[in-house]
Structure 1
Amino acid sequence: MSLTTTRRSIRRAGVPYAFLAPGLLLFTLFLAAPIGYAGYLSLRKVKVSGLGLGSKSRTEVWAGLSNYARSMTDPEWLPSVYRILGYGLIVVPAMLGLALLMALLLDANRTRPALSGFARISIFLPYAVPAVVASLLWGFLYLPRVSPFGYALGKLGIGTPELLSSSWVLYAVANVAVWGGTGFNMIVLYTALKSVPTSLYESARIDGASELAIAWRIKIPIVLPSLIMTFVFSMIATLQVFAEPMTLKPLSNTISFTWTPLMKVYRDAFVRNDIHSAAATSVVIALATFLLSFGFLKLVGRRAFDQEDS
């Protein structure tokens, strides 16, 4: 093999890594490095000497796993985990179910592109609204005294439920996430459906298949890999929910500073000034996110993607 051929082979082998380099650099700087630094902080603690007033009275020392033990035995930890599990059981099925339904309805109406385009934009538009703004808007609608819906129901003699009460607040927060996230997932699923040639559906109709049968036996199996991907994204977003309950917190005393695990991290770091305990909780959340995502993909991913390849 000549020297020129060897150089060409090396250059070709390096092309994929050159394309991956910007993404790997951003991943390292903004995800891997912060997680690594949080892991380092989680193994340290501040030792106070004397009254803690001198310049050298506070020193950072090795703490081992004591921060993890203290964080996991916090009486507010398990309630926040149970709350986020209930939140996920509401949000993920509702959001993905609505997204799949809307994608199927839009795909069934391919003959009217103008109407389909307007519907796509209308459904996707809530996703473009920042979570804080969406939470403020919904919070305004949740308060009976300022909500136009509460005023209209009052005029009709119908009582307005306290949607931010302890009985309803979980559903109120979940509604904000469903309203904001359905459009994004719908676009992902609809894009997968658009890649399927219409001749496949026409053949099924010639064989006598109804629209419901086509959706159940052809369309849903085709979008299954995309559905799995959106499920993983939704699960990650559920574990990291913060903006919605944090924004609604001033409107109701039923949402505490530890309503979700990520809110507990915020409380420990910026209210209690205990950044080491907050780092330990952050590492636990990151590990739980990785294990759940990886475990789910190992469980169902191979079956779904093998089906796509076949």
Structure 2
Amino acid sequence: MVSVGHTHAQALGRPPTSKRRSWIGWQFVGPFMAVFALIFLAPIGYSIYLSLFRTQLIGGTAFVGADNYLKVLQDPQFWSSFGRVAIFLVVQVPVMLFLALLLALAIDSGRLYGTAFFRISVFLPYAVPAVVATLMWGFMYGTQFGLVGNINEAFGLSLPDPLSPDLILASIGNIVTWEFVGYNMLILYSALRVVNPSLYEAAEIDGAGQLRIIWSVKIPALRGALVIATIFSIIGSFQLFNEPSILKTLDPNLVTTYFTPNLYAYSLSFSGQQFNYSATVAIVMGVITMIIAYVVQLRGMRKAV
């Protein structure tokens, strides 16, 4: 049976209401989709286009298909930089998230004096630009001009050089942890604030102590937030660029041009003029990051369910 509204719309020569609503929805979404396509999809498409070509001094630009991708997969400098950020991720991300979890639990406990001040103090480093934070820590790391050097001189010590090749990755990890532990703490703390208080009351009635409540009530409630924070941290680790590039200006011999995949792609493009190969490196790293983040999300959400 045809509805009265439908026949009335046809009689007036107007399209059915459902069709009009669908177009109205697209009118609302249209501006966002246009900006999304211009800012996000267009650069990705252009990078894929560049990766399919190769520019040579003799012969100019030629279509090479998947040759650039095969070259990346056989590039020892790329895999060296990837292995470095993989080690950085495996060590730094768990430490940072563990500290963020402790801080979130401490604030949520309500037993801290000056909770609001403590919360904003922990979050404040996230508001410091990465360049400023790296320069600040780079100055403190200096053995000739910085805090480490002053301590050695004042107390007659010989502290290890944080900017030495053996410790540079740990030093960068310290900078990143200082910058982002407050950001992740805020994610976890926000998740704790929406936990039903009746769960805490039921646990206390059953005789559960604070440690038992944290382990059996709070941490399970944080699984979704932990998955989100982990995914963001994985993406940030694979995008590591600002910290090593700034520290490189303090000691040009300290950080190589392939220290991280992003720094490698940047050097290929702006120093080596290898735009096509640089785009290929960026795309390969994007695909690897997407796959790892998807696996983490899939496994994390499966455990949460």
Structure 1 length normalisation: TM-score? 0.88
One-letter amino acid of the counterpart of residue 244, structure 1:
E
Deviation at 1:148, TM superposition (A): 2.9
Distance 1:184 1:212 in 2: 24
Distance 1:290 1:300 in 2: 15
Q: What CA deviation, in whole Å up to 9, does each residue of 1:62-109 have, x standing for no partner?
A: 111222233333331121111111111122101111111100000001
Please give the residue correspondences for 1:1-310 in structure 2 after superposition, counting only pairs within 5 Å: 1=3, 2-3=5-6, 7-13=16-22, 20-49=29-58, 59-109=60-110, 115-252=114-251, 253-304=253-304, 306=305
Q: RMSD of aligned C-alpha atoms?
A: 2.1
**Could you say what secondary structure the match of 1:46 adopts?**
strand
Deviation at 1:145, TM superposition (A): 2.1
One-letter amino acid of the counterpart of residue 246, structure 1:
S
Of the structure 1 ranges 141-150 and 96-105, higher mean CA displacement relative to structure 2 is found in: 141-150
The verdict on how the C-alpha distance between 1:303 and 1:75 changes in structure 2, with shifts beyond 3 A counting, is closer
Give identity over the alignment, percent: 36
Q: What CA deviation, in whole Å up to 9, does each residue of 1:229-287 have, x standing for no partner?
A: 11011101111110010000122323111100111101110101010010111110111
Deviation at 1:203, TM superposition (A): 2.8
Alpha carbons 1:265, 1:278 under 8 Å: kept: yes
The verdict on how the C-alpha distance between 1:249 and 1:101 changes in structure 2, with shifts beyond 3 A counting, is same
Unaligned stretches of 5+ residues in structure 2: 10-14
Deviation at 1:8, TM superposition (A): 4.1
**Could you say what secondary structure the match of 2:114 adopts?**
helix
Deviation at 1:21, TM superposition (A): 4.1
One-letter amino acid of the counterpart of residue 283, structure 1:
I
Distance 2:20 2:296 in 1: 37
Of the structure 1 ranges 229-238 and 25-34, higher mean CA displacement relative to structure 2 is found in: 25-34
Alpha carbons 2:50, 2:276 under 8 Å: kept: yes
Structure 2 length normalisation: TM-score? 0.89
The verdict on how the C-alpha distance between 1:7 and 1:108 changes in structure 2, with shifts beyond 3 A counting, is farther
**Could you say what secondary structure the match of 1:268 adopts?**
helix
Unaligned stretches of 5+ residues in structure 1: 50-57
Distance 1:20 1:104 in 2: 39
The verdict on how the C-alpha distance between 1:128 and 1:81 changes in structure 2, with shifts beyond 3 A counting, is same
